[in-house]
A = this chain, B = another copy of it.
């Protein structure tokens, strides 16, 4: 079979704790094949520091080569020569090469993005477009801005048409990207004007894995929430103590001691408590539409939480399938515009 690199694009979203590599069709963004791995830049950086002889960029490219070899087994042609776009923590101080942050306001037409083109770095047979992040006077992000580019800039029909409209409005909108470090990104007239980070997902991990509460919590067996667990989750979301988390978090211990909830219900309660505390912050600031951009793994939690809080705003839930593709759409746009 031939090797038509101009038909394809390699799209890589490399976060602190996760890695995702996809082969896209350039013409329509269709995903030809993909893989995900738990090898985030934090782990790679630790290994790089331990070894101490190989150049940093080369070391990261060796990791990329391994995954490219795995991905290439899925297709009947060579991946050599196919260009690659990488966003996320890969451009951070613990990534493959550190790039300075772009500033605010950050226009969503791709014109403010800071990128660097790396030509076959470390002998890898691909040109890489490495994408940097954005900073405000007090916060930073790497990756979510590229997802937002993808959501707001791609295919202006149907669902994405509504997203473009909200992003372009003068009233403004808040885009929520839930996760380990959730981002609330404020967009006005087609530009990111501010954003906040919430340590929600990591806090939940800390508490369930390392705290005194861990004995009182247990991940529910089924992926689908039972009615009882959903009730426990919503009780957490609307807990009046969200304004003092140090106190309300401890109630997960007494919920169990007092037999108010079983371990699975308590797990859901704590999750609701943290997500509720994060979303409660939306009430404090006047805002236009709230747009939830959760992938399939988190929307199941944030969606009922947003409903429960009855925030006095127009809320749009981006379909998890589209949210899962946001980074890839952003990569495609950046590649087309910056080529």
Contacts and interface: CB of A to CB of B under 8 A. Distances in A.
Contacts of A251: 138-139
A63 interface: no
A62 to B, nearest CB: 23
A244 B277 contact: yes
Interface of A: 16, 42, 93, 138-140, 181-182, 196-200, 202-203, 206-207, 209-212, 243-247, 249-251, 253-254, 257-258, 274, 277-278, 280-281, 284
Contact of A277 (B42, B246, B274): B246
B281 A247 contact: yes
Given A140-B257, A207-B206, A212-B16, A181 B278 contact: no
A142 to B, nearest CB: 11
B246 A200 contact: yes
Contacts of A199: 211, 246-247, 249-250
13 contacts: A42-B212, A138-B258, A139-B254, A182-B246, A198-B246, A199-B211, A199-B246, A200-B246, A202-B211, A206-B207, A244-B284, A245-B277, A246-B274
Nearest to A249: B199
Contact of A281 (B203, B244, B284): B244
* Most chain B CB inside 10 Å of its own CB: which residue of A140, A209, A244, A278: A244
Q: How many copies does the complex hold?
A: 2
Of A16, A247, A278, most B-chain CB atoms within 10 Å: A247
A198 B16 contact: no
B247 A198 contact: yes
Contacts of A200: 246
Closest 10 CB pairs of A and B: A198-B246, A197-B250, A206-B206, A245-B245, A199-B250, A244-B281, A198-B247, A210-B210, A199-B249, A199-B246
Given A210-B210, A244-B277, A198 B138 contact: no
A16 B212 CA distance: 9
Contacts of A278: 244, 246-247
A139 B248 CA distance: 10
B250 A181 contact: yes
A226 to B, nearest CB: 24
B196 A206 contact: no
A200 B212 CA distance: 12
A246 B245 contact: yes
B206 A254 contact: no
A254 B140 contact: yes
Contacts of A196: 247
A240 to B, nearest CB: 11
A266 to B, nearest CB: 14
Contacts of A203: 246, 249
